[in-house]
Amino acid sequence: MKIATKPPRFATWLLETFGHPDTSEEVQGDLLELYDYWVETAGQQKADWRYSLNALKLLWPLAKQKRNEQYTTPFFLGPDMIRNYLTVAFRNLIRNKAFSAINITGLALGMASSLFILLWVQDERSVDAFHANGKYLYQVYERQQADGKTDASYTTQGLLADELKRVIPEVQYASSIQGNHITATAFEADDKLNKMDGTFASDDFFRMFSYPLLQGTPETALATPNGIAISRKMADYFFGSPEQAMGKAIRYENREDLMVAAVFENIPANSSQRFDFLRGWKAYVAQNDWVHNWSNTDPYTYIQLRADANPEAVEAKIKDFLYRYKPKNPSFVEELALQPYLETYLHSTLKNGRPEGGRIEYVRLFSVVGIFLLVIACINFMNLATARSAKRAKEVGVRKVVGAIRSALMGQFVGEAMLLTLFSMMLAMGLVALALPAFNNLTGKQLTLPFGQPVFWATLVGLLLTTGFLSGSYPAVFLSSLSPIRVLKGRLQFSPGAANFRKSLVVFQFGLSMLLIVGMLVMYRQMTYIQTKNLGYDRENLLYLPIEGDLTTKYNLFKSEASRLSGIVSVSRIRNSPTTIDHHTGDIRWVGKDQNQTVSMADVLVGYDFVKTMRLKLADGRDFSTDFGSDSVSYSGFLVNQAAVRKFGYKNPVGKPLWWGNNEGKIIGVLNDFHFSSMHQAIEPLVIRLDESKPFGTVLVRTEAGKTKEALASLEKTWQQLNPKFPFTYQFSDQEFARLYKSEQMVSQLANYFAVLAIFISCLGLFGLATFTAEQRTKEIGVRKVLGASVGSVVTLLSRDFLKPVLMAILITTPIGWYVMHKWLADFAYKVDLSWWIFALAGGLAVGIALLTVSFQSIKAALMNPVKSLRSE
């Protein structure tokens, strides 16, 4: 056998190109021997070594044999080769700038979206998790069975907490809290006047919940009727510091002086309870005599069980607890039940008498969306890597010729994917940092990137490894499996199975995008429907002002003065806000009512001109009026809505008798049904009574269109004259109404953004498939053009193939989208229809976007010079 005397170009090229770490004479001799054997056997000239198919055919089995015989550790797995892999990876990034940019951008967008969702989900799941006694805390709720249905409510009896602690041995602590009435209350101290949010709570509250006390003790913080616990923020504002606040007097509602008994740390952002101050429950009981009636409900009740208590056994004990204090009524069954406190924030929707759903549904939804977006980005990477595989195939073939094993090649391509993923993660972190303030504004959160938490870094590493492996696995497996003889023989061709796999990825990608488009359209329509639906009253130019301070006794004077102001149309009052009338009574009776049946009805107290100010429609009868002296007599007349008339069974209701408890009156007017609660609920029967004497409630002010600003300035001046110790505050009716759907609005907007991102990332993947297809069919296109095919026909040919997976995605996901959105809309009593055109529009958008995406590559391929196409490798 002839041995060359100096390294030929072939050996030099192998050493330089593939970075063989061993340059010893023995290794060079092996390469030279292979080279000379190739020359003698194949009869090739040294200058033609790069293009000799036969030589490479012979070289491959010889190299494989030598590797197995002489090298126990292939140099392709060594550290120097890893360095070479990185060098090759960087060269590929630079050489293919467009593909690299698309890959990195697509992955970055997917990872950024997933990070946003991850931060939001973690924050949602962390709410209330900071309480040290959390696993022993429970909220009591009440289940009612009446009128053929089962309902539940968190509102309970005012004395329930104390009685549970006294009677049930397993209850270590118990607290009532007027949690559903966190109100803005005016305070004054040291010539400073401001409003703070707060409520009432029982003595055990700070023993149960982990709100750190800066001053005072849990035992004394809420122990006295004239004591008050305030937050650090409140202490700093009125007194300068928590230390200076202790023991100081603060004026409450301009009617009593309270003493600061404790100062607690500001409530953390991940607490479901929000307040700036708390007053003791003894003061609440003294101000609300109704508390002693066990048929009335209003506050929330929380208990802390002893560490050795069995929650199921305690729940069984308290099930019929109320009947210790009130007689049983077979037509209105009341039961108490327990819900772990740590679950109440996410599982706060009560259906059929039990907690079912709530914010947890959105947590699950967006967790799935986050995974979907990441998977879409990874599929995009796979498609783009496949599109470039033809250019990498010969590299793989040559590497295998010189001894690379498949596991080493797979490691190389997965490593390249990890490198790209690392760049994408760095870009994603930058995007998250830039967009986080806007995201917080949208979601109402205070999210930050927790760089100081090891768990966060562990999560990032896990995301990096998962995404890198997921996105690089298919290209690595596919490319490492290529036969070197096959790929070096000529142009890489793929089997129908491989092509179908890539198309199935596009189907999956666009299927997820289609679901998000459908969700975006349906949620937008539902939110628009809610915002524009006729509520039965006019919420434009309607203001709500709190009845507080001197206004409790000067309401009539305020109404008289305000009614004469320019821009004011009318003034009235209501006990609740018209947006949420949540007070109910079971004491309404009518002629023909089954005396053994208890029916719960919404009720409200209003003032004169209520119908006029709200611009409600009377179906029959009249409004309360000073022209009828009998209206001023309490319980003498009632307004009812049409839902109540249907319940009564009255055909001509005006003038018919109605009893409210033991008080008899008559129906003076029937109102067309109007919405006085969320559209998640059907309109309930409503009974309205005149009462202008209550020292609380809301002033309703109707302003003239276009003169709201002028009216507000005049109202503030009048307010300051009549109620100087209270800051002038007001609320627009439409803003109050929008708050009812804050969660839905947030979810709808997030769905819009994520749907756009999903479509964009999917289009990047479709672009990759278009590029790949154009490369595979270059010669075919050249032949077609030589035979006379027009540019339009070629574009149509290529675009048609791209649309097939998109159309298949539409067919598959349409029924899934219908089911998912049907379930979401089921929570609304009043909702839009799932019309066929929604899915047609979503499909049309998907097809249109897909066509725009592939048109660039299709037109580019169709315009290529056929001579170049036929000459190309």
Angle, alpha carbons 49-405-10 (nearest 5°) = 15
- Considering the domain architecture, whether residues 165 and 256 belong to the same structural domain is answered as yes
The continuous run of DSSP H or E covering 65 comes out as helix 53-70
Average pLDDT over residues 153-180: 93
Angle, helices 97-126/454-480, rounded to nearest 10 degrees? 140
Phi, psi torsion values for 625, nearest 5 degrees: -150, 145
* Residue 664: pLDDT over 60: yes
The continuous run of DSSP H or E covering 544 comes out as strand 542-546
In the structure, what pLDDT confidence band is assigned to residue 581 with cuts at 50, 70 and 90? confident
In a domain, 59, yes or no: yes
3-state DSSP assignment of residue 543: strand
- Considering the domain architecture, whether residues 315 and 432 belong to the same structural domain is answered as no
- Considering the domain architecture, whether residues 154 and 238 belong to the same structural domain is answered as yes
pLDDT of residue 311: 95
Q: Give the bridge partners for 570, in sequence order.
A: 702
Angle, alpha carbons 171-174-178 (nearest 5°) = 155
Q: Are 488 and 56 in contact (CB under 8 A)?
A: yes
Query: What's the CA dihedral at 67, 70, 72, 77 to 10 degrees?
Result: -50
Length of the chain: 873
- Considering the domain architecture, whether residues 455 and 555 belong to the same structural domain is answered as no
Average pLDDT over residues 102-123: 87
- Considering the domain architecture, whether residues 393 and 490 belong to the same structural domain is answered as yes
Alpha carbon distance 695, 555 (integer Å): 9
- Considering the domain architecture, whether residues 283 and 374 belong to the same structural domain is answered as no
DSSP state of 309: -
* Cα end-to-end span (Å), the chain: 36
In the structure, what pLDDT confidence band is assigned to residue 465 with cuts at 50, 70 and 90? confident
- Considering the domain architecture, whether residues 461 and 513 belong to the same structural domain is answered as yes
pLDDT of residue 776: 65
Angle, alpha carbons 590-592-598 (nearest 5°) = 65
Q: Which residue has the higher pLDDT, 365 or 244?
A: 244
* Residue 21: pLDDT over 70: no
- Considering the domain architecture, whether residues 227 and 281 belong to the same structural domain is answered as yes
Three-state SS sequence of 122-137: HHHHHCCCCCCCHHHE
In a domain, 115, yes or no: no
The percent of residues above 90 in pLDDT, for the chain, comes to: 35
In the structure, what pLDDT confidence band is assigned to residue 132 with cuts at 50, 70 and 90? very high
Q: Which residue has the higher pLDDT, 341 or 24?
A: 341
User: 120: closest CA among 289, 338, 283, 346?
Assistant: 346
Query: At which residue do the structure tokens 């092996």 appear?
Result: 30
Q: Which residue segment(s) compose the domain that 479 sits in? A: 361-530+742-871
* Residue 422: pLDDT over 50: yes
In a domain, 3, yes or no: no
Average pLDDT over residues 794-798: 74
- Considering the domain architecture, whether residues 410 and 378 belong to the same structural domain is answered as yes
In the structure, what pLDDT confidence band is assigned to residue 479 with cuts at 50, 70 and 90? low
Q: Give the bridge partners for 336, in sequence order.
A: 142
Query: At which residue do the structure tokens 């504004």 appear?
Result: 441
pLDDT of residue 871: 57
In the structure, what pLDDT confidence band is assigned to residue 736 with cuts at 50, 70 and 90? confident
In a domain, 538, yes or no: no
User: 746: closest CA among 521, 515, 439?
Assistant: 439
Alpha carbon distance 582, 584 (integer Å): 6
In a domain, 402, yes or no: yes
Average pLDDT over residues 541-549: 91
| Beta-strand runs (E) in 622-697 | 637-641, 657-660, 663-671, 686-690
pLDDT of residue 19: 42
Average pLDDT over residues 703-732: 91
Q: Where does 388-453 have alpha helices with state H?
A: 389-401, 406-443
In a domain, 105, yes or no: no
In the structure, what pLDDT confidence band is assigned to residue 53 with cuts at 50, 70 and 90? very low
- Considering the domain architecture, whether residues 685 and 622 belong to the same structural domain is answered as yes
* Residue 551: pLDDT over 80: yes
* Residue 245: pLDDT over 50: yes
Q: Which residues contact 253 (CB under 8 A, 6 or more apart)?
A: 185, 186, 548, 549
Cα 248 vs. chain centroid, distance in angstroms? Answer: 43
In the structure, what pLDDT confidence band is assigned to residue 746 with cuts at 50, 70 and 90? confident
Q: Are 267 and 211 in contact (CB under 8 A)?
A: yes
Average pLDDT over residues 135-158: 89
296 burial (CB, 10 Å; 0-12 / 13-18 / 19+) is middle
In a domain, 651, yes or no: yes
| Beta-strand runs (E) in 646-788 | 657-660, 663-671, 686-690, 698-703, 731-732
Alpha carbon distance 362, 519 (integer Å): 13
pLDDT of residue 17: 43
- DSSP characters for 204-265? THHHHS---EEES-TTTTT-STTEEEEEHHHHHHHHSSHHHHTT-EEEETTTEEEEEEEEEP
Average pLDDT over residues 571-598: 85
Number of domains in the chain: 4
In the structure, what pLDDT confidence band is assigned to residue 1 with cuts at 50, 70 and 90? very low
- Considering the domain architecture, whether residues 197 and 319 belong to the same structural domain is answered as yes
Q: Which residues contact 329 (CB under 8 A, 6 or more apart)?
A: 598
Alpha carbon distance 147, 160 (integer Å): 25
The percent of residues above 70 in pLDDT, for the chain, comes to: 79
Tokens of 47: 């200058």
Amino acid at 514: M
- Considering the domain architecture, whether residues 170 and 307 belong to the same structural domain is answered as yes
Average pLDDT over residues 568-586: 87
175-to-440, 737, 815 alpha-carbon distances in Å: 33, 31, 49
Q: Which residues contact 626 (CB under 8 A, 6 or more apart)?
A: 608, 632
pLDDT of residue 718: 94
User: Mean pLDDT over all residues of the chain?
Assistant: 81
Q: Give the bridge partners for 335, in sequence order.
A: 143
Helices (runs of H) and strands (runs of E) counted in the chain: 28, 26
Q: Which residue has the higher pLDDT, 493 or 97?
A: 97
The continuous run of DSSP H or E covering 338 comes out as strand 332-340
What number of other Cβ atoms are within 10 A of residue 407's Cβ?
A: 13
How many Cα atoms are found within 13 Å in the side-chain-facing hemisphere of 160? 32
Rg (CA), the chain: 37
* Residue 228: pLDDT over 90: yes
Q: Are 429 and 449 in contact (CB under 8 A)?
A: yes
Amino acid at 803: L
DSSP state of 266: P
Average pLDDT over residues 627-647: 90
In a domain, 112, yes or no: no
In the structure, what pLDDT confidence band is assigned to residue 285 with cuts at 50, 70 and 90? very high
Average pLDDT over residues 463-468: 82
Q: Are 409 and 399 in contact (CB under 8 A)?
A: yes
Cα torsion 87, 89, 92, 98: sign: negative
Q: Where does 777-835 have alpha helices with state H?
A: 778-786, 791-825
User: 799: closest CA among 750, 847, 851?
Assistant: 851
Q: What is the pLDDT of residues 287-298, one digit of tens each?
A: 888 899 898 888
Alpha carbon distance 221, 229 (integer Å): 6
Three-state SS sequence of 217-234: CCCCCCCCCCEEEEEHHH
Question: What is the longest distance spanned by two Cα atoms in the chain?
Answer: 128
Q: Which residues contact 140 (CB under 8 A, 6 or more apart)?
A: 156, 160, 164, 300, 301, 302, 303, 318, 336, 337, 338
Q: What is the pLDDT of residues 829-838, one digit of tens each?
A: 888 888 888 8
Q: What is the pLDDT of residues 689-717, one digit of tens each?
A: 999 888 888 999 999 988 988 999 999 99
pLDDT of residue 219: 93
Average pLDDT over residues 815-838: 88
Tokens of 322: 């109320």
Q: Are 133 and 210 in contact (CB under 8 A)?
A: yes
